[in-house]
Amino acid sequence: MSYQDEELPDSTLQALALALKPAELSESVRRRLRERVLQQAHEVASTGTFTVRAGEAAWIEIAPFIQMKLLRRDQAAGNQTVLMRMQPGGIVPPHRHAHEEEFLVLEGECCIGDLQLRAGDAHIAAAGSWHEAVTTRTGVLVLLRGEYPLPCTG
């Protein structure tokens, strides 16, 4: 009798289960197996989601003392999510927003005109609003969700 495409009878499965003896694994082998299982479990993203790992997206210099890392871009909707890192002396020129922008300070401090923002502060610019220059004396890391392409200056 061939069980190639059929299930084994319960009695056979029970006999096999009783005959099995747990493998004796060293602590280092247990640890490696556990790490491998956990890594694979964390690498599976839920349907409809995606993850950008810290080392995956490249920092791109967009102006002196200013770098940007693209996290997501939706060309059809005309928006994007980026990290922007400014070093002391960096300046984002004054600009107008065609769409709403969300500006969240993650680290450091910056000024938008005379408005000072610190880590944890969020600044929302409505569509049609004018932004004064963004500057920093300490350096700053911000999360921006706003229009794509970038807003016009002048």
Whole-angstrom distance, CA of residue 117 vs CA of residue 110: 5
Q: If the chain, 154 residues long, is cut into consecutive pieces of 10 residues, what is the mean pLDDT of each piece?
A: 66 81 83 79 73 84 94 89 96 91 97 97 95 95 88 56
**Domain around 110:** 60-147
Whole-model pTM: value is 0.67
Does residue 112 fall inside a structural domain? yes
User: How many structural domains does the chain have?
Assistant: 1
Does residue 66 fall inside a structural domain? yes
Does residue 101 fall inside a structural domain? yes
Does residue 153 fall inside a structural domain? no
- Find the largest Cα–Cα distance for the chain: 85
Pairing of strands 95-96, 91-92: unpaired
Does residue 143 fall inside a structural domain? yes
| Beta strand extents in 31-99 (DSSP E only) | 60-63, 66-74, 79-86, 91-92, 95-96
Render pLDDT for 123-145 as a digit per residue (tens, 0 to 9).
Answer: 999 999 998 999 999 999 999 99
Does residue 107 fall inside a structural domain? yes
The enclosing domain of 105 has a CATH number of 2.60.120.10
Does residue 23 fall inside a structural domain? no
Does residue 80 fall inside a structural domain? yes
